[in-house]
Amino acid sequence: QVGQVFLYFQWDSLLLETGFLAVLVAPLRLLRRGSPSWRPHDSITFWGVRWLLFRLMFASGVVKLSSRCPTWWGLTALTYHYETQCIPTPGAWFAHQLPVWFQKLSVVATYVIEVAVPVLFFAPLRRLRLFAFYCQVLLQVLIILTGNYNFFNVLTIVLAFSLLDEEHVGYWLDRPKKRQGSAWPPSLGSVLATLLELSTYGLLLYWTIQHFGLEINWDKKLLDSKVAFTYHEFTTWVRTVTLPLVGVAFLSLSWEILVAMYRCACVRGCFWKLWATLQWAILATATVSLFAVSLVPFTYIDHESNGKLWPGIHQMFGAVERFQVVNSYGLFRRMTGVGGRPEVVLEGSYDGHSWTEIEFMYKPGNVSVAPPVVAPHQPRLDWQLWFAALGPHHSSPWFSALVHRLLQGQRDVIRLVQVDESRYPFSARPPTFLRAQLYKYWFTGPSEGSPGPVPWWRRQHVQEFFPTVSLGDPTLESLLSQHGLKDKPPLRRRTDAPLPWLLGSLRALSQPFSGPAVLWTLYLVAATVGVLRALGPRARGGPSPARHKARGERNGVRGEGRARAGAEGHGEGRPGPKKKK
């Protein structure tokens, strides 16, 4: 809320909500070396992460159709998306060249992954949950390759890890668990599980073919697709399934709570049993409360279902809404830039006749410059310029302040345009005049351009976006006064306050580097520390089994595998002792 429009994206809200859940999932016990890595109530808190992932994906799929956007209904959204998104990657240029029938099929796949597959998050069969996990990861990886959406896609993949179990992760870490030999003939439960899994895949394929009219065109050797339902049928379906989906989620949560309660009963020792039960009660209550409160933003997809919720749930949501611990989601609701990507280009001059374009680090400008790869960094100014181009400059009051600061030559603002000031055309002296022009950009085709290197973009001038102004210009002064952006005296701060000094020192250290370089450095350092900590016990030979046993007895845990015996089918492993590292 402090950053206003610059920090008010849906993934910022998602990061807040995920951070709150992380308090429940990974508490401070991680700081105590040698503490048990498994707790009886872990499945409850991980279910909260799974519910957040479900709300994010299902709502993002539903809003695409509920918005009545003709490109989503015509399955042509991706023919515009790659070139009109905020900051595309070089991969977006290549994806834009794909044939239309493949782009339409990709939209169908997006609907399946975002609307149908999330229901499998609560499936009782682990292989269905694993299938849902890999579908979500595939979608997010493809988005990463074709668009710069900062940390959003990586964060979504992290949420998807709640669909995995210890057995499956063990295969990744080359520590597969030994499973009991398969008997022949297979048991009745195994046969029923296989039939249910195959039926689910068959139903998913049939649902896709029926509702999106998939048909092979043998003459043109392509796969045709179209939406085979009406808007009224879709809204009726959403109204029909919203509350039943809430019921399915509640049953899934109830099962996890009961299983966790059974695990608490398996803990040895009266004190440790009581301690585990107390933790179970607190975290189960917190998860149920979060689930109840989240029903209000989740049912925004259907106002009739929202009105049927118990009034007490609305009151609970109103009490915590300002903290944003639960939020509503719905990404890529409408496709913008259908007639061409609008782009604001700033120009500066010393005499008002000879104008020089001001190139930004990330947003499109020079048609010969390749789109950048900046994730997981989000250049907030470049993003807001994309939104500003969608309307008049009056709808973006901050743009007047940007022009004002560039005319003043303020270094902090110039660094938002170019970290390397040698690439800023007015680094020696601020421009006397500034103006902004509106262009429309399109990706070039593979055969466009001169015999030399093919440019990435082609553009066409549309109109003036911001009039020519200079310092003290009445037009600029009026805009600044109108939006309350006139210069104000700086706040008086203590010169010896530790926090401003620390932040100033960190800023001075990172100032010569770009945002992506700073973030990737932090990530690589954290990854290196994690790898070294993981390899440390192996290099030392690891602690003896006796120490493991003693540690387990001190913590009151009796046979970790025995405590998990009642959770078969939830990836808790087979009974028996287990080494902990």
Q: How far apart are CA 170 and CA 227, in angstroms?
A: 41
Identity of residue 457: W
Residues 390 and 425 in one domain: yes
Helices 10-25 and 42-66: angle between axes, nearest 10 degrees: 160
CA–CA dist 257, 165 (Å, integer): 17
pLDDT value of residue 184: 67
502 occurs within a structural domain: no
In order of 188, 461, 468, 533, 580, the CA distances from 546 in angstroms are 41, 76, 79, 22, 12
Question: For the chain, how many residues are written?
Answer: 581
| 59 and 93 share one domain | yes
Q: pTM to 2 decimals?
A: 0.87
Cα–Cα distance measured from residue 1 to residue 507, given in angstroms and rounded to the nearest whole number: 22
Q: Three-state DSSP class for 369?
A: coil
Give the C-alpha distances (Å, rounded to integers) separating 82 from 57, 65, 79, 148: 20, 19, 7, 11
Query: Do 320 and 294 form a contact (C-beta atoms < 8 A)?
Result: no
Q: Are residues 143 and 172 in the same domain?
A: yes
Based on the structure, what is the number of domains in the chain? 2
Q: Are residues 78 and 172 in the same domain?
A: yes
**b/e code 350-362 from CB counts within 10 Å (16+ = b):** eeeeebeebbbbb
Of the candidates 271, 295, 323, which is a domain's last residue? 323
pLDDT per residue of the chain (581 residues) written in tens, 0 to 9 = 788 889 889 999 999 999 999 988 876 555 555 455 678 888 999 999 999 999 999 999 999 999 999 999 999 999 999 999 999 999 999 999 999 999 999 999 999 999 999 999 999 999 999 999 999 999 999 999 999 999 999 999 999 999 998 888 777 776 666 555 556 677 888 889 899 999 999 999 999 999 998 888 888 888 899 999 999 999 999 999 999 999 999 999 999 999 999 999 998 889 889 989 999 999 999 999 999 999 999 999 999 999 999 999 999 999 999 888 999 999 888 898 888 999 999 999 999 899 999 999 999 999 999 999 998 999 999 999 999 999 999 999 999 999 999 999 999 899 999 988 889 999 999 999 999 999 999 999 887 655 667 789 999 999 999 999 999 999 999 999 998 888 777 777 676 788 888 988 888 888 888 888 888 899 899 989 988 887 766 555 544 444 444 444 444 444 444 433 343 333 334 334 444 43
> With the C-alpha atoms ordered 403, 404, 407, 408, is the resulting torsion angle positive or negative?
negative
In a domain, 241, yes or no: yes
CA distance 388 to 119: 37
Instruction: Please indicate, yes or no, if residue 438 is contained in any of the structural domains.
Output: yes
How far apart are alpha carbons 287 and 44 in whole angstroms? Answer: 7
Q: How crowded is residue 429: how many other Cβ atoms within 10 Å of its Cβ?
A: 8
**Cis peptide preceding 88, ω within 30 of 0:** no
Q: Do 248 and 115 share a structural domain? A: yes
One domain, residues 71 and 153:
yes
In angstroms, the CA 135 to CA 154 distance is 14
Q: Is 331 inside any structural domain?
A: no
Helices (H), 374-410: 380-388, 398-408
Is the bond preceding residue 575 a cis peptide, omega within 30 degrees?
A: no
Q: Can you give the pLDDT at residue 540?
A: 55
**Widest CA span of the chain, in angstroms?**
89
Q: How many CB atoms lie within 10 A of CB 152?
A: 24
Distances (CA, A) of 294 to 155, 315, 382: 19, 12, 32
Which residues are 347's β-sheet partners? 357, 435
Within a domain: residue 318? Answer: yes
Verify that 477 and 346 share a domain, yes or no. yes
- Does any domain span residue 547? no
Indicate whether 264 and 357 sit together in one domain. Answer: no
> What is the secondary structure of 212-247 as a DSSP string?
TT-EEETTTTEEE----S-HHHHHHHHHHHHHHHHH
| Cα–Cα dist 317/222, whole Å | 49
Residues 304 and 156 in one domain: yes
3-state per-residue secondary structure call for 48-82 = HHHHHHHHHHHHHHHHHHHCCCHHHHCCCCHHHHH
Mark whether 64 and 168 lie in a shared domain: yes
The enclosing H or E element of 461 equals strand 457-469
Alpha-carbon span 541 to 412, nearest angstrom: 52
Do 253 and 223 lie in one domain? The reply is yes
Tell me how far CA of residue 111 lies from CA of 127, 236, 580, in angstroms.
21, 17, 41
123: in domain: yes
465 vs 402: CA distance, rounded Å: 14
- Full residue range of the structural domain in which residue 443 is found: 341-447+454-487
- Helix (H) or strand (E) holding 15, with range, is helix 10-25
In a domain, 443, yes or no: yes
Q: Which of helix, strand or coil describes residue 44? A: helix
Same domain, 198 and 82: yes
User: What is the per-residue pLDDT for 566?
Assistant: 40
